[in-house]
Structure 1
Amino acid sequence: MRTSGLLCLSLLGLATGGLSLPTQAQTPTRPSVADTALTQRTASGVRYTIRQQGTGPIAQSGDRMQVHYTGFLPDGHIFDSSVAQGRPLRLRVGRGEVIPGWDEMLLLLPMGSRARIWIPAALAYGSTGVLNPDDDTKFMVPPNTDLIFEVEIVKVR
């Protein structure tokens, strides 16, 4: 797997409950159904729950960011994790380097924030999905799959 994770669109060629983001010393746990009392929804349909409100700057389009994440399929299986890779994902937000749901959400979360994010398939990998790099007859993310992420905004600059 590439160090920048599945989220980088350029590398792929692609256009819920009270859990917190696991640190490098913790193992991610299976997400559960969203707590609707705490969950907010964007106009595009992305849902999110702030687990820890950050106090740092909020990224502007084009800013460089470092983000720790763990991505879950709806059944709770982890399909990708910067935590497991041992370093946060580095990206420029708002430039299409990540899935559209991420580009939207990363512009809303201040540095230091931890959040659970539910991204509809259309704002993730859509009808294409993501093939398993070791077996192109299987999918890591099946087509038309909604995704769940635990994220931590590590750095904004």
Structure 2
Amino acid sequence: MTSLVMPTMASSLLLQLGSTCGKSPSFAPPQSILVDKLRRLVIKVKSSETRECTTAMFNANSRRDFLGLALGVSGLFIGSLDANGAGLPPEEKPKLCDDTCEKELENVPTVTTGSGLQYKDIKVGQGPSPPIGFQVAANYVAMVPSGQIFDSSLEKGQPYIFRVGSGQVIQGLDEGILSMKVGGKRRLYIPGSLAFPKGLTSAPGRPRVAPSSPVIFDVSLEYIPGLEVDEE
């Protein structure tokens, strides 16, 4: 005959196998035991089972709480490391004009050309000036008026080579280099009309250059390859 009692599989997943937590014990007491003794025995067994069940649940909950606490503390620790990393001072970018140079420039007269370009010579070179159309190798540090750098050949590790006076760079840079000599350094104050008519989109960590806004270039004329070969 088929049994009508269904197995309790779900409860076995929550508790250890063989546990009777939450269930009354099954046993057949001898008939000689009095009813009141049987009642006290059942109450005692239920109390013991309840304590065991409570202890098991407490231990399980304690393990979960401890694991959660440990994960939380590790998260806070990692977060604090990230915060410390974010709080580090910004990396110093290489420049053509250091703090001493900046102080000296205060006493250097400003030259203004007919186009509106202004410049100050940080150092006057001793070599030749580049003829229009010749290639030149120059280092530069490009800044917005506040002094924030938006581009620099020094960070790329090599001079920028282009044909001067042929429109390969902005007008202010072309004009400023044409009157320089090899070995010289100059600060160019380029008005918006000689800079970037369409502006420049900002790279990560770089300032944006608005359309037709003034910019500042520190430039050093390193050498003129074709001219040096011809002179030899």
TM-score normalised by structure 2 residue count = 0.50
- Answering whether residue 173 of structure 2 is matched by residue 102 of structure 1, we say yes
Q: How far off its partner does 1:144 sit?
A: 2.5
Aligned ranges 1:44-63 → 2 under 5 Å = 44-63=115-134
- Answering whether residue 221 of structure 2 is matched by residue 150 of structure 1, we say no
- Answering whether residue 158 of structure 2 is matched by residue 87 of structure 1, we say yes
Unaligned stretches of 5+ in structure 2?
A: 1-92, 227-232
Aligned ranges 1:15-30 → 2 under 5 Å = 27-28=94-95
Residues 84/139 of structure 1: CA separation in 2 closer, same or farther (3 Å cut): closer
2:26 matched residue in structure 1 = none
Q: CA RMSD in A?
A: 2.6
CA contact (8 A) 1:61 1:93 kept: yes
Amino acid in structure 2 at the alignment position of 1:103: D
CA contact (8 A) 2:144 2:207 kept: no
Q: How far off its partner does 1:84 sit?
A: 0.7
2:72 matched residue in structure 1 = none
Residue 201 of structure 2: which of 104, 115, 131 is its match? 131
Q: How far off its partner does 1:27 sit?
A: 2.5
1:140 matched residue in structure 2 = 208
CA contact (8 A) 1:130 1:139 kept: no
- Answering whether residue 193 of structure 2 is matched by residue 122 of structure 1, we say yes
- Answering whether residue 142 of structure 2 is matched by residue 71 of structure 1, we say yes
Q: Percent identity?
A: 32
Residues 32/56 of structure 1: CA separation in 2 closer, same or farther (3 Å cut): closer
Amino acid in structure 1 at the alignment position of 2:199: G
Aligned ranges 1:21-40 → 2 under 5 Å = 27-28=94-95, 35=106, 38-40=109-111
Higher percent of residues as strand: 1
Aligned residue-pair number: 129
Q: How far off its partner does 1:139 sit?
A: 7.0
Amino acid in structure 2 at the alignment position of 1:27: P
Which secondary structure state, in structure 2, belongs to the residue aligned with residue 153 of structure 1? strand
Q: How far off its partner does 1:142 sit?
A: 1.4
1:14 matched residue in structure 2 = none
Unaligned stretches of 5+ in structure 1?
A: 1-25
Q: How far off its partner does 1:106 sit?
A: 1.2
CA contact (8 A) 2:149 2:207 kept: no
Alpha-carbon distance in structure 1 between the residues aligned to 2:200 and 2:188: 19
TM-score normalised by structure 1 residue count = 0.73
Q: Runs of 4+ in structure 1 displaced over 3 angstroms?
A: 29-37
Amino acid in structure 1 at the alignment position of 2:131: Q
Amino acid in structure 2 at the alignment position of 1:131: T
Higher percent of residues as helix: 2
Alpha-carbon distance in structure 2 between the residues aligned to 1:149 and 1:102: 8
When Rg is computed on C-alpha atoms for both structures, the one with the higher figure is: 2
